[in-house]
Amino acid sequence: MIAHLSGTLLAKQATSVILDVQGVGYEVTIPVTTFYDLADAGAQVSLRIYTHVREDVLQLFGFKTARERELFMLLISVSGIGPKSGIAMLSGMSADEIITAIRTNNLARLTAIPGVGKKTAERLVIELRDKMAALTSPALEEQLAAQPGAVTPTGDTLHDDTLSALVNLGYQRAAAEKAVAQAMHEGGELSVELLLRRSLRNLSKG
Protein backbone atom coordinates (compact mmCIF):
# COMPACT_ATOMS: atom_id res chain seq x y z
CA MET A 1 0.00 0.00 0.00
CA ILE A 2 1.14 3.56 -0.71
CA ALA A 3 1.72 5.39 2.60
CA HIS A 4 3.75 8.41 1.47
CA LEU A 5 4.27 10.40 -1.74
CA SER A 6 6.84 13.10 -2.42
CA GLY A 7 7.12 14.91 -5.74
CA THR A 8 6.17 17.95 -7.82
CA LEU A 9 2.73 19.47 -7.48
CA LEU A 10 1.25 19.56 -11.00
CA ALA A 11 -2.20 20.89 -10.12
CA LYS A 12 -4.35 21.49 -7.07
CA GLN A 13 -8.02 22.03 -6.31
CA ALA A 14 -9.76 22.47 -2.97
CA THR A 15 -10.32 18.72 -2.61
CA SER A 16 -7.69 17.09 -4.83
CA VAL A 17 -4.16 17.39 -6.21
CA ILE A 18 -2.09 15.77 -8.94
CA LEU A 19 1.39 14.89 -7.76
CA ASP A 20 4.20 13.98 -10.18
CA VAL A 21 6.42 11.34 -8.60
CA GLN A 22 9.29 10.44 -10.96
CA GLY A 23 7.14 10.87 -14.05
CA VAL A 24 4.00 9.22 -12.69
CA GLY A 25 1.04 11.49 -11.90
CA TYR A 26 -0.94 10.48 -8.83
CA GLU A 27 -4.37 11.99 -8.22
CA VAL A 28 -4.87 12.38 -4.48
CA THR A 29 -8.03 13.43 -2.65
CA ILE A 30 -7.30 15.90 0.15
CA PRO A 31 -9.25 17.76 2.84
CA VAL A 32 -9.57 21.54 2.44
CA THR A 33 -7.30 22.00 5.47
CA THR A 34 -4.45 20.33 3.57
CA PHE A 35 -5.19 22.46 0.50
CA TYR A 36 -4.55 25.59 2.56
CA ASP A 37 -1.07 24.37 3.47
CA LEU A 38 0.04 23.53 -0.08
CA ALA A 39 2.29 25.77 -2.16
CA ASP A 40 1.54 26.65 -5.78
CA ALA A 41 1.89 24.27 -8.72
CA GLY A 42 5.51 23.42 -9.43
CA ALA A 43 6.49 23.19 -5.77
CA GLN A 44 7.88 20.08 -4.12
CA VAL A 45 5.27 18.47 -1.88
CA SER A 46 5.22 15.56 0.54
CA LEU A 47 1.95 13.96 1.61
CA ARG A 48 1.05 11.19 4.01
CA ILE A 49 -1.17 8.79 2.07
CA TYR A 50 -4.02 6.47 2.93
CA THR A 51 -4.78 3.96 0.15
CA HIS A 52 -8.45 3.00 -0.07
CA VAL A 53 -9.11 -0.19 -2.04
CA ARG A 54 -12.48 -1.57 -3.10
CA GLU A 55 -13.38 -4.13 -5.72
CA ASP A 56 -13.82 -1.51 -8.43
CA VAL A 57 -11.63 1.39 -7.29
CA LEU A 58 -8.28 2.33 -5.80
CA GLN A 59 -8.28 5.81 -4.32
CA LEU A 60 -5.52 7.80 -2.62
CA PHE A 61 -6.20 10.22 0.23
CA GLY A 62 -3.46 12.67 1.19
CA PHE A 63 -2.69 14.63 4.36
CA LYS A 64 -0.09 17.20 5.30
CA THR A 65 0.71 15.58 8.65
CA ALA A 66 0.88 12.08 10.06
CA ARG A 67 -1.52 13.21 12.81
CA GLU A 68 -4.24 14.07 10.30
CA ARG A 69 -3.77 10.72 8.57
CA GLU A 70 -4.05 8.87 11.88
CA LEU A 71 -7.20 10.80 12.76
CA PHE A 72 -8.70 10.07 9.33
CA MET A 73 -8.01 6.34 9.77
CA LEU A 74 -9.69 6.37 13.18
CA LEU A 75 -12.72 8.19 11.80
CA ILE A 76 -13.30 5.76 8.95
CA SER A 77 -12.95 2.81 11.34
CA VAL A 78 -16.36 3.78 12.72
CA SER A 79 -19.41 2.24 11.05
CA GLY A 80 -21.21 4.83 8.94
CA ILE A 81 -18.08 6.91 8.28
CA GLY A 82 -16.55 6.28 4.85
CA PRO A 83 -13.57 8.05 3.27
CA LYS A 84 -15.83 10.74 1.77
CA SER A 85 -17.32 11.56 5.18
CA GLY A 86 -13.87 11.48 6.76
CA ILE A 87 -12.57 14.03 4.25
CA ALA A 88 -15.67 16.18 4.82
CA MET A 89 -15.00 16.16 8.56
CA LEU A 90 -11.37 17.18 8.11
CA SER A 91 -12.44 19.85 5.60
CA GLY A 92 -15.02 21.39 7.89
CA MET A 93 -13.05 21.21 11.12
CA SER A 94 -9.42 21.19 12.15
CA ALA A 95 -7.97 18.08 13.78
CA ASP A 96 -8.13 19.81 17.17
CA GLU A 97 -11.80 20.70 16.66
CA ILE A 98 -12.72 17.11 15.76
CA ILE A 99 -10.78 15.73 18.72
CA THR A 100 -12.43 18.27 21.05
CA ALA A 101 -15.93 17.50 19.72
CA ILE A 102 -15.46 13.76 20.26
CA ARG A 103 -13.81 14.07 23.68
CA THR A 104 -16.45 16.50 24.97
CA ASN A 105 -19.39 14.53 23.55
CA ASN A 106 -20.41 17.48 21.36
CA LEU A 107 -23.00 15.72 19.21
CA ALA A 108 -24.37 19.02 17.87
CA ARG A 109 -20.96 19.89 16.41
CA LEU A 110 -20.50 16.45 14.87
CA THR A 111 -23.99 16.23 13.34
CA ALA A 112 -23.43 19.63 11.69
CA ILE A 113 -21.19 17.78 9.24
CA PRO A 114 -23.06 16.69 6.07
CA GLY A 115 -23.65 12.94 6.13
CA VAL A 116 -23.15 12.53 9.89
CA GLY A 117 -26.40 11.79 11.70
CA LYS A 118 -27.02 11.51 15.42
CA LYS A 119 -26.42 7.75 15.58
CA THR A 120 -23.14 8.05 13.68
CA ALA A 121 -22.06 10.93 15.94
CA GLU A 122 -22.85 8.81 18.99
CA ARG A 123 -20.76 5.95 17.59
CA LEU A 124 -17.86 8.35 16.98
CA VAL A 125 -17.93 9.39 20.63
CA ILE A 126 -18.39 5.89 22.04
CA GLU A 127 -15.75 4.21 19.86
CA LEU A 128 -13.14 6.95 19.61
CA ARG A 129 -13.32 9.03 22.78
CA ASP A 130 -10.60 7.09 24.58
CA LYS A 131 -8.46 6.86 21.43
CA MET A 132 -8.45 10.66 20.95
CA ALA A 133 -6.11 11.14 23.92
CA ALA A 134 -3.16 9.81 21.89
CA LEU A 135 -3.71 12.51 19.23
CA THR A 136 -4.32 15.40 21.63
CA SER A 137 -1.59 18.04 21.65
CA PRO A 138 -0.37 19.48 25.00
CA ALA A 139 -1.90 22.86 24.14
CA LEU A 140 -5.28 21.29 23.36
CA GLU A 141 -5.10 19.24 26.55
CA GLU A 142 -4.77 22.48 28.51
CA GLN A 143 -7.76 23.98 26.72
CA LEU A 144 -9.88 20.91 27.42
CA ALA A 145 -8.92 21.02 31.09
CA ALA A 146 -9.82 24.71 31.32
CA GLN A 147 -13.05 24.39 29.33
CA PRO A 148 -14.52 20.92 29.86
CA GLY A 149 -17.93 21.87 28.43
CA ALA A 150 -18.71 21.37 24.76
CA VAL A 151 -19.30 24.48 22.70
CA THR A 152 -21.63 24.59 19.71
CA PRO A 153 -20.49 26.98 16.98
CA THR A 154 -22.67 30.04 16.53
CA GLY A 155 -23.79 31.53 13.25
CA ASP A 156 -21.14 34.24 13.61
CA THR A 157 -18.43 31.62 14.12
CA LEU A 158 -19.54 29.65 11.06
CA HIS A 159 -19.64 32.87 9.00
CA ASP A 160 -16.18 33.98 10.11
CA ASP A 161 -14.59 30.55 9.64
CA THR A 162 -16.04 30.18 6.14
CA LEU A 163 -15.03 33.72 5.17
CA SER A 164 -11.50 33.07 6.42
CA ALA A 165 -11.32 29.86 4.38
CA LEU A 166 -12.39 31.64 1.19
CA VAL A 167 -9.89 34.45 1.72
CA ASN A 168 -7.19 31.79 2.23
CA LEU A 169 -8.26 30.26 -1.08
CA GLY A 170 -7.47 33.59 -2.74
CA TYR A 171 -10.90 35.17 -3.14
CA GLN A 172 -11.39 38.90 -2.58
CA ARG A 173 -12.93 39.61 0.83
CA ALA A 174 -15.88 41.61 -0.57
CA ALA A 175 -16.86 38.88 -3.03
CA ALA A 176 -16.36 36.21 -0.38
CA GLU A 177 -18.57 38.04 2.13
CA LYS A 178 -21.37 38.27 -0.41
CA ALA A 179 -21.06 34.56 -1.29
CA VAL A 180 -21.10 33.51 2.39
CA ALA A 181 -24.16 35.66 3.09
CA GLN A 182 -25.98 34.00 0.19
CA ALA A 183 -24.90 30.56 1.42
CA MET A 184 -26.18 31.19 4.95
CA HIS A 185 -29.47 32.56 3.58
CA GLU A 186 -30.14 29.16 1.95
CA GLY A 187 -30.64 27.80 5.47
CA GLY A 188 -30.61 24.18 6.59
CA GLU A 189 -28.30 22.54 9.12
CA LEU A 190 -25.24 24.70 8.61
CA SER A 191 -21.60 23.74 8.95
CA VAL A 192 -18.38 25.31 7.70
CA GLU A 193 -17.98 22.56 5.10
CA LEU A 194 -21.52 23.08 3.76
CA LEU A 195 -21.17 26.87 3.72
CA LEU A 196 -17.81 26.60 1.97
CA ARG A 197 -19.26 24.38 -0.73
CA ARG A 198 -22.24 26.69 -1.27
CA SER A 199 -20.01 29.79 -1.28
CA LEU A 200 -17.64 28.30 -3.85
CA ARG A 201 -20.64 27.49 -6.05
CA ASN A 202 -21.92 31.07 -5.71
CA LEU A 203 -18.49 32.50 -6.53
CA SER A 204 -18.20 30.32 -9.64
CA LYS A 205 -21.49 31.78 -10.90
CA GLY A 206 -20.27 35.33 -10.37
pLDDT, residue 165, reads 81
Task: Tell me which CATH code domain 67-146 carries.
Answer: 1.10.150.20
Domains 4-64 and 67-146 fall in the same CATH topology:
no
115-160: pLDDT as tens digits: 788 888 888 988 998 888 788 766 666 665 665 444 455 567 788 8
As a whole number, mean pLDDT of residues 87-104 equals: 86
Residue 96 pLDDT exceeds 70 = yes
pLDDT, residue 19, reads 96
Q: Which percentage of the chain shows pLDDT scores above 90?
A: 27
CATH class entry, domain 4-64: mainly beta
pLDDT, residue 140, reads 60
SS3 readout for 76-107? CCCCCCCHHHHHHHHHHCCHHHHHHHHHCCCH
Scored b (16 or more CB within 10 A) or e, 155-170 reads eeebbebbbebbeebe
Q: What is the pTM of this model?
A: 0.65
What ranges do the domains of the chain cover? Answer: 4-64, 67-146, 155-205
Q: How confident is the model at residue 203 (pLDDT cuts 50, 70, 90)?
A: confident
